[in-house]
Amino acid sequence: MDRKTILAGLAAVLLITGCSSKHRIAIGSKNFTEQVILGEIIAQHLEKRLHQPVERKLNLGGTLLAHQALLSGDIDMYPEYTGTAFTNILKRSGVTDPAVVLDRVRTEYASGLRLDVLDPLGFNSSFAMTVRGADARARHLETLSDAAADPAGFALGAGYEFMTRPDGFPAVNGTYSIKWTAVPKSMDLGLLYTALLGKQVSMVAANTTDGALTKLDVKVLKDDKQAFPPYQACIVVRSELLAANPDVRKALSELSGKISDDAMRAMNYAVDAEHKQVRDVAKEFLEKVGL
């Protein structure tokens, strides 16, 4: 084999290696609409800024599955909420100041897990204990304390994670003495409002960024005793990736502060109710904010 052939072969190997490394950046998300939209926004933005395709591993599953995928290197980043990281990953509690929760999550993720928590995307995505509008008006319900004082009680519908997470049902139950008239029903998140309006349940653990909240006759009861921590949405990234690729950090930082509560609700509604494609909703959002 002559020298030219060897060099050509080596160049081909390097080219293949280089291409595969470009495909290494993998974006993950949990398994509900908002997360998939956020994952697609991140993916499209990185592809535009880095001029290379990224791998999408969206709709992975719940919090612990997504987090484990990040730790194992199966994905390089995914959108997470500060309160979820604080209570479910770090097993902390007792703090309601958004800045303090963010700082503690950042510090412990960086030192113990070698993960970077970037600046918040701009919206807070908390649990929303929601009742029918007619019931709220008839029973004078504004807060969860009002619900606890109502002797008629409630039948609850919620997703599986809400029932098992310490910042979910245990937090509500430990803070408010709400009378439950039946064993809480665990159901798919997409069925919550159908179950509520169909009177299968009388309260659901929804989400403050659900698009349906702006369209349906429902009432979110205020968490007046702060049972829930703050849930600022942030991108969590493997520190190793950012150290090796400064352009990735620069690109991701452009998304910080860009997504308002209203914008997230609108995107969720576009996918869930108007049945628009996630990729189209993500593309429209990025164009709207000039990215």
Q: What is the rounded distance in angstroms from the CA atom of residue 213 to the CA atom of residue 119?
A: 27
Q: What is the rounded distance in angstroms from the CA atom of residue 269 to the CA atom of residue 262?
A: 10
pLDDT of residue 4: 44
Phi, psi of 229 (to 5 degrees): -75, 175
pLDDT of residue 6: 42
pTM: predicted TM-score of the whole model, two decimal places: 0.84
Q: Identify the CATH assignment for 24-124+230-288 out of 3.40.50.720, 3.40.190.10, 1.20.1440.80, 3.10.310.30.
A: 3.40.190.10
Domain ranges of the chain: 24-124+230-288, 128-220
pLDDT of residue 250: 97
pLDDT of residue 243: 95
pLDDT of residue 54: 97
Sheet with strand 185-186: strands edge to edge: 185-186, 156-158, 203-207, 127-132, 218-220
24-124+230-288 shares its CATH topology with 128-220: yes
222, β-bridge pairs: 143
Helix (H, G, I), strand (E, B) or coil at 281: helix
pLDDT of residue 280: 98
The pair of three-digit structure tokens given for residue 266, joined into one six-digit string: 């609108």
One digit per residue, pLDDT tens: the chain, 291 residues?
Answer: 444 444 444 444 444 334 444 448 999 999 999 999 999 999 999 999 999 999 999 999 999 999 999 999 999 999 999 999 999 999 998 898 999 999 999 999 999 999 999 999 999 999 999 999 999 999 999 999 999 999 999 999 999 989 999 999 999 999 999 999 999 999 998 899 999 999 999 999 999 999 999 899 999 999 999 999 999 999 999 999 999 999 999 999 999 999 999 999 999 999 999 999 999 999 999 999 999
Q: Identify the CATH assignment for 128-220 out of 3.40.50.360, 2.60.120.10, 3.40.190.120, 3.90.870.10.
A: 3.40.190.120
